[in-house]
Chain A
């Protein structure tokens, strides 16, 4: 029964993601304010950036649950896995962003505040993964890396809200902010929303698979027989 449901969910995700890819190229409108068809990358770039944000936030929540929710290893595994997925989506968002920047701004990289922010955020979580690999004891590793994942809640808001305001940014306004939603073409908005939803579900699926395999690895290390 659960097998059927899970197969159905995976099938639905496949259908929605395929529909998003088709919709991004054939259904949605291309914004003439940008060079050529370059605005279509929005349907992939924005959901990737959004998913990495969701993943990092989920990692902090799981880290907090580890520290104050009875120190259960599964919460630490969930936090670490969420960071791994978040880094994956963050790197993809950076790559798609710089491809777009090459077309629109003329250079792959020009230290726009958004680019600075994503690099520092990725460095932060790269450091998290380095920190984990530097500790052999599982309890110590879980405790120390959970603290580091929670420090992100203090530091990253400065990059989301403050650094972009000190220096001028050329990055387009976030599409989903209050006043711009009225401006956005409804078809563009539908595809973007569906795509963001699909990527979020994809993240939770990847996360689930990876956390389960990590649980098996841990169990095998404890009891190799």
Chain B
């Protein structure tokens, strides 16, 4: 199967062939052809100003009983006895979707010996109902146990939409839930909405963030998406009313094939990149390991995390857990400050979702300036110490 071209609408302008990442569109004298190289990525569809290109439709489904699936669910994550920020954000997004659909918003809380205040917190952030499953087998996260319980709940209660954070937990076990339920899943969404037909519109970056794609799941239920942390807005209303329901997991549901031997929390707070509001990243421009101290000092002053380019990690200047980019972490802080980072595409795809990007580099032609909101062309060895002095002066030292 390949992209479909409506010959009546096509003007043979050739714009589609230029954007095709696979070279699958051949522009001839009298017609445009799509070759077998086509992967149905959809890049060409939106570039055609004549609306001549479409993709064939997915075939799986339809679910006969789609109408019986009602309600929006958010999988609530917690860490060390507190609700994870991404769950607050998801409840904010979920609330808007539930209101548009005129349905209930529920949060799902799995764990063992959970504090009742977690449920109150979820309700304050928008949940009408919290389903709590408390069981020793849920003490530590393991994919199979979490997935099997969530699948059981979904089969029982039938929500139409399920959202989870695109965290190391959500990205790991939510695909297991989707596959068990035989439904679609869209990863790493940055925008969610409801279509005129009442379907969940899931928008996510594709091709390393160079394009955005909106995806639907017309036939599978629930419609499932993981959502990037720090994208959706939380809304807290203390005193909001909701119901808490404890659900007993059915006997024999836990197969416990995996044993958690050890959980070692990251001690280095500056390596917690995915949660950080501010990240200061150092690149090869720092020239040697000792100079990373400058980045660390700056990060510490503004309570930020420390990032690193692949180059800096490969030089052995800093641990790989700090790496941002394609083979490292994807981050989206309020401020991302890249110091001495050239800005290779592999780095940019990991940080371009940041709200403010500041680049400090003495090479005015460095590609990092193409994505920076604010560019500082300067020698970092002069600029960073001066900036640190300015911050210290403000902080009254």
Q: Do A and B come from one complex?
A: no
B residues sitting closer than 8 Å to A (CB atoms) are none
